[in-house]
């Protein structure tokens, strides 16, 4: 259970009102099909979708904050105890942004819904009937998260052990997926690439490996291998020629789970000149304070005892 003893789990619980109501057959009587911007997939939009984009943006921001330092686990995320406090600070900050966005949205709700309906005069009567009261809309928005540790039940330790032992493989799967996306997005077919774009992405991958190295014994050798391959990269300007070849070889390595598992565990880290070398874990700097719309209690760390044995009839 050593891995779980060092792991904190994160569950995101985000709910966003979709601004839609069911499109019924009666809605089409004497009018015909609604315009594309008003209805889709059997539903009609009773609020401007643009007014709701901020909430989806904040949800994605929270997911990125988690995935940057975590792996997917038990329908949530798993990360190191070392970064749990900093991750909680980030999520609390996003939670405050979400609450402020909700306040702003609700303060203009009636006016904005009226403006939206006015854009579709032929549908005005049916849209007005479908308006959702502000009080109900308010309850459809929520941003919560929980931090907790998992412990096996006395009766079944092996089930959770098996799940926990897969975290290392899950980490390499996620690294491979992100590296593949980087390759497709920025490297394929290019003879010159932006240093900022590539090094930022590779550093994020190395940082994730550094944070979660306790999950997989190959993480540290892999980081050392990458730093060795990239030793001597220029400090400024785009990557091209032999330097681009080095970058592409690193991304190719990080895109392949099997190759990552085959790195030489005795390879020593390089020294001097490597721009991408990950530093050993240090305490993160304190973030600037953000105005709070309302007091939000600190999320408690809880412990769950799970029995993952299969139920039988």
More confident residue, 72 or 23: 72
Domain boundaries, the chain: 2-149, 167-261
pTM of the model: 0.77
Radius of gyration in angstroms for the set of CA atoms belonging to the chain, rounded to a whole number: 25
pLDDT surpassing 80 at residue 160: no
CB atoms within 10 A of CB 220: 17
Give the per-residue pLDDT at 165. Answer: 80
Question: Averaged over 255-280, what is the pLDDT?
Answer: 62
Position 290 pLDDT exceeds 60: no
Q: What is the pLDDT of residue 262?
A: 87
The CA-atom distances, in angstroms, between 26 and each of 43, 110, 140 are 13, 25, 26
What's the rounded mean pLDDT across residues 190-217?
91
pLDDT of residue 216: 92
- Look at residue 65 and tell me whether its pLDDT is greater than 60: yes
Tell me the three-class secondary structure of the chain, residue by residue. CHHHHCEEEEEEEEECCCCEEECCHHHHCCCCCCCCCCEECCEEECCCHHHHHHHHHHHHHHHHHHHHHCEEECCEEEEEHHHHHHHHHHHHHHHHHHHHHHHHHHHCHHHHHHHHHHCCHHHHHHHHHCCCCHHHHHHCCEEEEEEEEEEEECCEHHHHHHHHHCHHHHHHHHHHHHHHHHHHHHHCCCCEECHHHHHHHHHHHHHHHHHCHHHCCCHHHHHHHHHHHCCCCCCCCCEEHHHHHHHHHHHHHHCCHHHHHCCCCCCCCCCCCCCCCCCCCCCCCCCCCCCCCCCCCCCCEEEEEECCCCCCC
Length, in residues, of the chain:
313
Give pairs for 235-240: CB < 8 Å, separation 24+: 235/275, 236/195, 237/195, 238/192, 238/193, 238/194, 238/195, 239/192, 239/193, 239/194, 239/195, 239/198, 240/191, 240/192, 240/193
| CA pseudo-torsion sign 130, 135, 136, 142 | positive
Residue 134 has pLDDT above 70, yes or no: yes
Tell me how far apart the alpha carbons of residues 6 and 40 are, in angstroms, rounded to a whole number: 46
Q: Does the pLDDT at position 183 exceed 60?
A: yes
Decide if 91 contacts 143 (C-beta within 8 A): no
Structure confidence at residue 88 (pLDDT): 96
State the Cα–Cα distance between residues 287 and 244, nearest whole angstrom.
35
Could you tell me which residues are beta bridge partners of residue 10? 77, 147
pLDDT, position 37:
77
Using N-to-C axis directions, what is the helix angle for 195-211 and 241-254, rounded to 10°? 30
């Amino acid at each position: 259970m050593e891995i779980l003893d060092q792991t904190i789990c994160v569950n995101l619980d985000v709910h966003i009102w979709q601004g839609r109501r069911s499109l019924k057959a009666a809605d089409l009587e004497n009018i015909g099909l609604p315009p594309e911007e008003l209805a889709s997939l059997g539903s009609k939009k009773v609020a401007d979708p643009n007014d709701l984009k901020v909430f989806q943006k904040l949800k994605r921001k929270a997911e990125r904050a988690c995935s940057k330092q975590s792996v997917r686990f038990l329908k949530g995320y798993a990360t190191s105890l070392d970064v749990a406090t900093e991750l909680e600070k980030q999520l609390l900050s996003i939670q405050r942004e979400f609450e402020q966005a909700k306040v702003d949205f609700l303060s203009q709700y009636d006016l904005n819904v009226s403006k939206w309906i006015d854009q579709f005069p032929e549908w005005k009567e049916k849209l007005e009937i479908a308006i959702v009261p502000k009080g109900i809309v308010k309850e459809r928005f929520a941003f919560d998260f929980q931090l907790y540790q998992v412990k096996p039940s006395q009766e079944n330790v092996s089930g959770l052990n098996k799940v926990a032992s897969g975290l290392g493989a899950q980490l390499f799967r996620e690294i491979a997926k992100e590296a593949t996306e980087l390759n497709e997005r920025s490297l394929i077919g290019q003879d010159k690439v932006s240093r900022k774009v590539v090094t930022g992405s590779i550093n994020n991958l190395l940082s994730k490996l550094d944070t979660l190295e306790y999950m997989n014994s190959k993480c540290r050798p892999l980081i050392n291998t990458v730093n060795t391959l990239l030793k001597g990269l220029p400090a400024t300007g785009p990557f091209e020629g032999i330097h681009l070849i080095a970058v592409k070889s690193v991304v190719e390595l990080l895109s392949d789970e099997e190759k990552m598992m085959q790195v030489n565990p005795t390879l020593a880290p390089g020294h001097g000149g490597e721009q991408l070398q990950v530093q050993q874990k240090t305490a993160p700097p304190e973030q600037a304070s953000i105005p709070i719309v309302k007091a939000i209690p600190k999320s408690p760390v809880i412990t769950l005892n799970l029995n993952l044995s299969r139920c039988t009839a």
